């Protein structure tokens, strides 16, 4: 797989394609980042972007994981001590999941976001940005909460992070797109370079198949699920025997295969009793999706298989969490 394909596969959006193609010409040593508000347990939403980070590392890029403690503080996620504690757990789980330690730099926001130069730049950016513009960038992340000044500062800091972390690429879920667009618009106004952005899709809600727009709300599968819980959750997922359900719904089981399983496994084996046709082997997502669509692969078998592969992906992180908590 060439570098461009590694950078862009499974991405919902690439901004801009031209810039990313340039980056793919010589990716070695280039720096990409994702920012996360620290949380103690990783869920599928985190892992989706982590898969992209692994792709980037495979292409030779350096990955910066921003443990966004100041952002979490702005979002009232706890005291700095609590936030830092969950951030350490988060870091351990990312490494257990498969990020390459040698190519990953974990950075706390508070390490540089409280410096004088950064702060002054932030104030500069505040002067350059209307409240309307900042709020629009945050709408997706903020949800229904009442707007606070902190919500306006939040996306401005993300904009500066891209400069201060010396990045070549910003990565995030599709919910980050407005923030990244704000950054692309504002960085030149401060005489900084524009960086491209790659956005991962938002997977539909597991039980309803609805979504594409809501952020991490509906995602229920996490690093702390036991094998049994995982099986139960996957089994209760919405899964019509089609690729494209009616009424604008998605098939979340297929989405999980596409975005979580196939990027991490060379082949997927569906174990089936002989009476249902015996085992099936897939080397790519397309073949599996086509078989589900045609009826060759029954949803129940797809679910069983999905659960066991997800379990394998989650197992090391689950183990790490257990260690940390004991």
Q: Which spans of this chain sit near RNA (rule: CB under 7 A)?
A: 146-147, 207-208, 235-241, 272, 276-277, 298-301, 303
Using CA of residue 204, residue 208, residue 214, residue 219, what is the dihedral sign? Answer: negative
Query: Residue 97, annotated ligand binder?
Result: no
Cβ proximity to RNA, 119 vs 236, nearer residue? 236
Q: How far is the CB of 237 from RNA (least distance, A)?
A: 5
Q: What is the DSSP string of 136-172?
A: HHHHHHHTTSPP-HHHHHHHHHHHHHHHHTT-SEEEE
**By C-alpha distance, which of 151, 153, 140, 198 is closest to 23?**
198
**C-alpha span between 3 and 58 (Å, rounded):** 8
Query: Residue 176, annotated ligand binder?
Result: yes
Cβ proximity to RNA, 161 vs 301, nearer residue? 301
227 and 41 in contact (C-beta within 8 Å)?
no
Q: How far is the CB of 24 from RNA (least distance, A)?
A: 38
Q: How far is the CB of 200 from RNA (least distance, A)?
A: 24
Cβ proximity to RNA, 190 vs 276, nearer residue? 276
Q: How far is CA 87 from CA 81, 99, 109, in A?
A: 10, 16, 11
Element (H, E) at 121: helix 116-128
Query: Residue 294, annotated ligand binder?
Result: no
Cβ proximity to RNA, 111 vs 232, nearer residue? 232
Q: How far is the CB of 242 from RNA (least distance, A)?
A: 9
Query: Residue 276, annotated ligand binder?
Result: no
Query: Residue 108, annotated ligand binder?
Result: no
Binding residues for L-tyrosine: 33, 154, 158, 161, 176
Annotated binding site: 33, 154, 158, 161, 176, 215
């Amino acid at each position: 797989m060439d570098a461009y394909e590694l950078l862009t596969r499974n991405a919902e959006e690439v901004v801009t394609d031209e810039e990313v193609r340039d980056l793919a010409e010589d990716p070695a040593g280039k720096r990409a980042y994702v920012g996360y508000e620290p949380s103690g347990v990783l869920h599928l939403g985190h892992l989706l972007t982590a898969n992209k980070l692994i792709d980037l590392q495979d292409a030779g890029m350096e990955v910066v994981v921003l443990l966004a403690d100041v952002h979490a503080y702005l979002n009232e996620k706890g005291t700095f001590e609590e936030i830092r504690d969950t951030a350490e757990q988060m870091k351990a789980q990312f490494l257990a999941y498969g990020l390459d330690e040698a190519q990953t730099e974990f950075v706390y926001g508070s390490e540089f976001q409280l410096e004088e130069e950064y702060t002054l730049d932030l104030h500069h950016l505040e002067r350059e940005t209307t409240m309307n513009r900042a709020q629009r960038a945050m709408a997706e992340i903020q949800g229904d909460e009442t707007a606070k000044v902190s919500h306006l500062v939040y996306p401005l800091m993300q904009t500066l992070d891209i400069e201060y972390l010396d990045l070549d690429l910003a990565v995030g879920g599709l919910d980050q797109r407005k923030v990244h667009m704000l950054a692309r618009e504002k960085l030149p106004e401060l005489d900084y370079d524009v960086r491209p952005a790659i956005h991962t899709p938002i997977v539909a809600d597991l039980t309803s198949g609805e979504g594409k727009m809501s952020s991490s709300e509906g995602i229920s599968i996490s690093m702390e699920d036991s094998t049994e819980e995982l099986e139960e959750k996957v089994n209760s997922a919405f899964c019509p025997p089609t690729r494209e359900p009616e009424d604008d719904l998605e098939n979340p089981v297929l989405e999980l295969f596409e975005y979580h399983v196939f990027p991490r496994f060379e082949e997927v084996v569906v174990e089936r009793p002989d009476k249902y046709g015996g085992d099936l082997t897939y080397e790519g997502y397309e073949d599996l999706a086509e078989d589900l669509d045609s009826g060759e692969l029954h949803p129940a078998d797809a679910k069983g298989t999905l659960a066991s592969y997800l379990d394998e992906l989650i197992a090391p992180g689950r183990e790490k969490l257990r260690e940390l908590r004991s």
